[in-house]
Amino acid sequence: MLTKTTLEQWALLRAVVELGGFAQAAQALNRSQSSVSYQLSLMQERLGVSLLAPSGRRTVLTAQGQQLLTQAIPLLNAFHTLELRADMLRRGGRARIDLVVDSIFPKPTLFAALRTFQSRHPHTQVHLMEVLRSESRSQLADYQADIWLISQPWEGINRGRLLMDMAFVAVARADHPLHQRAQPLSFADLSAYPLIEIIDRQQQKESVHKPASTENWTFTTVEAAIEAVMHGVGYGWMPQARVADGLASGVLKLLPLPQGGRRFTPLYLVVEEDKQPYDTEVATLVALLTEAADAMV
């Protein structure tokens, strides 16, 4: 379907309004004033709507023109972005990076790195997929990604680099019965209450058919597991960075265990082998994620 107007005409209309007149727009766009005037007259004729009106020495939008230009501006901006992205691709740039991140990776650290990346490469999209640390290598292999932040290193030569060790701490709500028992707590003490675990959906399905020695409650997201602990449903080992506020406020308390109260899960940064040597965008994101993780240590 052919349109009655063109993007160029809407861009001319925008320039006339923002710069205050035909002469100013013509000068800024390196066009003759007559050509600008002709295009906008043709545009109004085809639409059957008056878009502009004189106001002293300036040219301003009519009410109808204001309404239509407001709708056109996002289209103009989107088209400008499209052309910038095409130019980036012409120069060998990357339009998209697929990033797989273990859900235990601290969100503030992740988003700080992504925000900086966006400011440096505004025309490269990042598609993020969260996975659980319990997912097997075969499950992870089903995802297509350029960069991985995962708790299991790749097999073979490209094992990735150890990025950080994520601390998990044993916690329960401050008024949970476990905190009323004699210290330190024993395994028998723990087994009397539900253990809150974070597992993937496949494991959750399989666990239905397996007898449990204790009453474990399973969740497929870190957020849901933490909420369960904070509401007193049970106890569990949760990412220390994610429960820091709950501990500081007194809603949660560390469980007094003789050993094992603090556990560590390594996180590895892996880049697909066929992406090496890194292109500029991948190299930038890898560096930012590494810097953000190093700052946490």
Residue 196 contacts by C-beta under 8 Å, 6 or more apart in sequence?
216, 217, 219, 225, 228, 229, 233, 234, 235, 236, 238
C-alpha–C-alpha distance, residues 281 and 186, integer Å = 51
**Structural domains in the chain plus CATH codes:** 7-90 (1.10.10.10), 102-164+273-296 (no CATH), 166-265 (3.40.190.290)
C-alpha–C-alpha distance, residues 29 and 26, integer Å = 5
Answer yes or no: are the C-beta atoms of 76 and 42 closer than 8 Å: no
pLDDT at 111: 94
Task: Tell me whether strands 161-173 and 216-219 are parallel, antiparallel or unpaired.
Answer: unpaired
pLDDT at 245: 95
pLDDT at 82: 78
Answer yes or no: are the C-beta atoms of 252 and 179 closer than 8 Å: no
Please tell me the least confidently modeled range out of 29-33, 61-65, 213-217, 238-242.
Answer: 213-217
- Kindly report the backbone phi and psi dihedral angles of residue 244, in degrees, each rounded to the nearest multiple of 5, phi listed first: -60, -40
Answer yes or no: are the C-beta atoms of 27 and 82 closer than 8 Å: no
Residue 60 contacts by C-beta under 8 Å, 6 or more apart in sequence?
17, 52, 53, 54
Residue 145: pLDDT over 50: yes
pLDDT 10s digits, 104-143: 998 999 999 999 999 999 888 999 998 887 665 555 666 6
b (16+ CB within 10 A) / e for 268-292: bbbbeeebeeeeebbebbbebbeeb
Over range 29-34, report the average pLDDT: 92
pTM metric for this prediction: 0.63
DSSP 110-133: HHHHHHHHHHH-TT-EEEEEEE-T
**More confident of the two residues 153 and 45:** 45
